[in-house]
Structure 1
Amino acid sequence: MTTSISPNGFHLPDEEFTENIDNREKIGKVFEIIFLFGLLIGLFVLALLVFDICGDGLVRFLTPGFLTETPSRFPDKGGILPALLSSLLLGIITILVSVPIGVGAALYLEEYAPKTWWTALIEINISNLAGVPSIVYGLLGLGVFNYLLGFGPALLSGALTLSLLSLPVIIVTSREAIRSVPDSLKNASYGLGITKWQTIRHHVIPYAVPGILTGVIISVSRAIGDAACLIVVGAVSFLTFNPGLFQRFMALPIQIYTYITRPEPGFSNAAAATIIVLMLLILALNGTAIYIRQRYSRMR
């Protein structure tokens, strides 16, 4: 009787070895079905939510002036222009501030920082900051940007607070993306006499861009949809003018909360329409980042 070596190193007869492989494949199929079932449940719930929101808010969303007028105390009048412009500015400033700082910090920790206890302590704290509630960042922004730096309850304070909220996730994901760059790629660059910075600029960063953009997508989407820290910093629920960097501001999540808390039935439709706008804004930002990520993935 012939024998075969099982994956754990034991010698088994061919029949037992074949039966062992079949059992592993069956178990794998069972877990595949379970995971697929979980995915389908999530997609089903998401589809129900989107269908319900579109059913309630699509008519209000298509109403002329909803995207181009300021809010009104009447549910069937006015629009969300100040909140929409504020969210756009908040997202743009958050990206401009958090992405260079986050990627730069990740590059320093991975490529330049000495491996000491101090560096390990910084890495642990950055990982812990990724799980801190957003309202804590709101209190930090209130103390630093509103009072210490004197910006007050302005849009710039909210954008910088959202940047602080996004930084830990960007740093952690960027470090993982940079760490995934093969050492052979860097060693080949060094072998040609290229300096460390040139290697990072022309090889490491382009290779890590898809992973970096994944972290940017997650962090910016969370920031744009956050309301707790913006309320603490000074966002308002009603505004009749388009905000500037050093003026009071609104945001789409706060506009949604304001509409939902109003007793008139028409405001629920306005809230659903505002949710549609927020989803489209996040999808547009995510789509842009995904396109750039796929383009760099094909360049590898």
Structure 2
Amino acid sequence: MQFKTNKLSSVIEWGSLLLSTAIVCFFIAVIIWEIFSKGFSVLSWEFTTMVPKEGMTSGGILTPIIGTVLLTLITSAFAVPFGICCAIYLNEYAENTWVTRTIRAAIRNLSGVPSIIYGLFGLALFVQALNFGTSLVAAGLTLGLLSLPYIITTTEEALKRIPNSTREAALAVGATKFETIKDVVIPSAMSGILTGVVLTLSRAAGETAPILFTGAAFYINGSSGYVNQEFMALPYHLYMLSTQHQSIDQVKPIAYGTALVLVIVVFLLNLTAFYIRYKYRKDEN
């Protein structure tokens, strides 16, 4: 009787899981099909290489693409080295005290803070207090702060997967702790570290709220690439075309094309993360 009850419970749990997964996949497929079917006709070489013209009613999306790339580069330059170093210290050097546990809890709590709060914090710190103004660098540093908790958490989890016997073996042959971490632990955890970094940057590239307050512009006539100036970015460009433009019906095809490009960019970044994990696991085996 107990066996039948456990089996029924297992079937119900798996059925609920499969049903939930199917529902989520269905709605994702509907959204992607909506974007693809209405944005594919707009997508062309000219669309991705021309700057917006006539108040974004014509032209392409080159300026938002450049802004998004530069924004992601600034975010990664700030968040990746700092986040990885913090994770290495917490996992390899810091002792398990109440201070360390409090820091870890704070990092995990920061991961759940709404992105618009980071935008307001970036406005107060980078735009006003540090006098960066509404600029590309202020927005990039704000997204860097948003990305830090995720990079620290994923990197620390990747380091935890390396067994202590690996560290002890390196120390036994005369390596210092620093050499053990640099030459043994980090290379062994590199697949998890890089996967977490790429997935975090793909999330940051699609954020709108943080850059809304710190430097994203509605329209820039021409190309822009200066870190101390306002910029255009794909997510904010899409938001403005979809909700705030005075000729929404006229720019709707451009909005769908922009959405498709953004989806493709995020998809490629996620695909890169999966490839990195697959390649490192294959090399390990």
TM-score by length of 1: 0.87
Cα distance in 2 for partners of 1:119, 1:36 equals 39
Q: Is the 2:111–2:149 Cα contact (8 Å) retained in structure 1?
A: yes
1:14-51: CA deviations, max 9, x gaps? xxxxx544543443233223212221221111111111
Task: Determine which structure has more spread, i.e. the larger CA radius of gyration.
Answer: 1
Cα distance in 1 for partners of 2:81, 2:55 equals 43
User: Structure 1 residues 161 and 74 mapped into 2: Cα distance closer, same or farther (>3 Å)?
Assistant: closer
2:257 maps to what in 1? 273
Cα distance in 1 for partners of 2:199, 2:268 equals 13
Cα distance in 2 for partners of 1:241, 1:162 equals 24
2:280 maps to what in 1? 296
Cα distance in 1 for partners of 2:57, 2:238 equals 15
Which amino acid in structure 2 is aligned with residue 192 of structure 1?
V
Cα distance in 1 for partners of 2:185, 2:86 equals 14
Q: Which moved more, 1:244-253 or 1:26-35?
A: 26-35
1:117 maps to what in 2? 98
Which amino acid in structure 2 is aligned with residue 38 of structure 1?
S
Cα distance in 1 for partners of 2:223, 2:55 equals 19
Q: Is 2:7 the partner of 1:32?
A: no
Aligned-pair identity in percent equals 38
Aligned residues: 281
Q: Which moved more, 1:20-29 or 1:248-257?
A: 20-29
Choose the corresponding residue for 2:176, options 191, 195, 203: 195
RMSD between superposed Cα atoms in Å: 1.9
Cα distance in 2 for partners of 1:99, 1:273 equals 31
Gaps of 5+ in 2: none
Structure 1 runs (4+) greater than 6 angstroms displaced:
none
1:82-119: CA deviations, max 9, x gaps? 11111111112212221111111000011111333322
User: Structure 1 residues 142 and 76 mapped into 2: Cα distance closer, same or farther (>3 Å)?
Assistant: closer
Q: Is 2:159 the partner of 1:178?
A: yes
2:196 maps to what in 1? 215
TM-score by length of 2: 0.91
Alignment of 1:205-244 (within 5 A): 205-243=186-224, 244=226
- Secondary structure at 1:299's aligned position in 2? helix
Q: Is 2:120 the partner of 1:139?
A: yes
Q: Is 2:69 the partner of 1:88?
A: yes
Q: Is the 1:71–1:79 Cα contact (8 Å) retained in structure 2?
A: yes
Q: Is 2:49 the partner of 1:68?
A: yes
Cα distance in 1 for partners of 2:191, 2:16 equals 29
- Secondary structure at 1:256's aligned position in 2? helix
Gaps of 5+ in 1: 1-18
User: Structure 1 residues 74 and 171 mapped into 2: Cα distance closer, same or farther (>3 Å)?
Assistant: closer
1:253 maps to what in 2? 235
Q: Which moved more, 1:28-37 or 1:152-161?
A: 28-37
Higher helix share: 2
Which amino acid in structure 2 is aligned with residue 257 of structure 1?
Y
